[in-house]
Structure 1
Amino acid sequence: MSAIPRAPLILGLAGLIPFVWGAVTVLLPDLASWTARTLGGRFAGPYVMLFYGAVILSFMSGVLWGFAARLEGAQASTGYALSVIPALWAFFMTGGGPTGSAISLIAGFIGILGLDWLFWRHGAAPEWWMSLRLALTAVVVTCLTIGVFF
């Protein structure tokens, strides 16, 4: 795996902000109260992580769709079919309460690593892709776990 280019790294790290903010507001109830009063309840605690997590899984479907477009024949068809799984997962598996939704998102983010690897292995994703995805997923799963267990 090669070095992650600066722009994807910075944008990927910036994309972690809602997850990290959600985890911090779970751990610091006073900050959660301030956030709820100032920005609204959906920007604090598990709520920001759950809503944003569903959005990001859907976004990742689009990324994988783009990777599928780099493949040909049966591989492309399979890639397109696989690329919609994260969005469908987010749609069907969240909404059943904060704990169940967070656990489903954790499973979804871990599961998408398998799809990332598959596209990467077939040369549809950049060489550095797995380095970026592993790092970002570790932070996301940690934050969601804080939302579940704290």
Structure 2
Amino acid sequence: MTQIPRAALLLGLAGLIPFAWGAVTTILPDVGMWSARAIGPRFTGPYVGLFYGAIILSFMSGVLWGFATRATGQVAATGYALSVIPALWAFFMTGGGPTSAGISLIAGFIALLGLDWLFWKQELAPPWWMSLRIMLTVVVVACLAIPLI
């Protein structure tokens, strides 16, 4: 694995802000109450993490689709098929309430890491991809787990 390009690292870290905000507003009730009043309950506590997590799983489907375009033949066809799984997972698995949605998103992000590895191993993702994805996934899973504790 090689060094993560600065722009990719900074944007990846910035993408953690909604997850971190959801965790902070869950752990600190006063901050959560302020957030609910100031910016709305959808952007507070577990709800911001759940909503944003479904969006990011869908976004990652698009990223994987882009990686699949670098392949040909059966590898490309398999890549396209695998790339839609995170978005479909988010769509079908996040409607059963905050606890089950949180558990489903955690499972989705862990499974996504497996797909990331597969695309990386096939040299369809950049050499630094797994360094970035492991770091981001650890933080995302931790933030999504906080409301479940």
TM over 0.5: yes
2:32 corresponds to which residue? 32
2:78 corresponds to which residue? 78
Structure 2 counterpart of 1:141, one-letter code: V
Aligned-pair CA distance for 1:148: 1.1
Q: Which runs of 5+ in 1 are unaligned?
A: none
2:91 corresponds to which residue? 91
Cα distance in structure 2, aligned partners of 1:147 and 1:78: 35
Per the alignment, in what secondary structure is the counterpart of residue 47 of structure 2?
helix
Q: Which runs of 5+ in 2 are unaligned?
A: none
2:110 corresponds to which residue? 110
TM-score, normalised via structure 2 length: 0.99
Cα distance in structure 2, aligned partners of 1:10 and 1:27: 25
Per the alignment, in what secondary structure is the counterpart of residue 100 of structure 2?
helix
1:131 corresponds to which residue? 131
Aligned-pair CA distance for 1:108: 0.1
Structure 1 counterpart of 2:123, one-letter code: G
Aligned-pair CA distance for 1:79: 0.2
1:4 corresponds to which residue? 4
Per the alignment, in what secondary structure is the counterpart of residue 86 of structure 2?
helix
Cα distance in structure 1, aligned partners of 2:95 and 2:4: 34
Aligned-pair CA distance for 1:147: 1.6
Cα distance in structure 2, aligned partners of 1:141 and 1:113: 11
Map Cα deviations across residues 8-45 of structure 1 (whole Å, 9 max, x no partner). 00000000000000000000000000000000000100
Cα distance in structure 2, aligned partners of 1:147 and 1:59: 23
Cα distance in structure 2, aligned partners of 1:77 and 1:86: 16
Map Cα deviations across residues 97-145 of structure 1 (whole Å, 9 max, x no partner). 0000000000000000110000000010000000000000000000001
Identity %: 72
Cα distance in structure 2, aligned partners of 1:72 and 1:28: 50
Cα distance in structure 1, aligned partners of 2:37 and 2:127: 44
Structure 1 counterpart of 2:56, one-letter code: I
TM-score, normalised via structure 1 length: 0.99
